Structure 1
Amino acid sequence: MPLTEQSPCIGRCQLNERDVCTGCYRTIHDIIQWRSYSDLQRREAVARIEQCKSALNPPVFSHK
């Protein structure tokens, strides 16, 4: 039974001081548990990842 959400890993694995990967923005818990997550858990994790990305990388606006 294939799961719908593939791992967001991009092969640039390094944890920051909050145990969040600076490559894929998953928490250490999400990384460890990813293979055992259901489709729903993976979709929820991806939603958290998107929020984390936005919080850590706010948009840059040009003042031209």
Structure 2
Amino acid sequence: MALEMRDRCERCETAALTADGPARICSYECTFCVPCAEQMNGTCPNCGGDLVTRPTRRTAN
């Protein structure tokens, strides 16, 4: 199962998140922009899990 690369912050809904840009996710793939994640002290408001750096997805050659 592939990671869903969401393109909007779930908190502010205005931050555009590119697949290769910075974002924070929890183990349930809740997705937030870096400023919102920092304001939430790195804790997901949905599950209480840690928000970590979302991995980047490499494009196929």
The TM-score normalised by the length of structure 1 is 0.28
- The answer to which structure, 1 or 2, has the higher relative contact order (CA under 8 A, 6+ apart) is 2
Structure 1 or 2, whichever has the larger Rg, is 1
Higher normalized strand content (fraction of residues): 2
The TM-score normalised by the length of structure 2 is 0.29
Higher normalized helix content (fraction of residues): 1
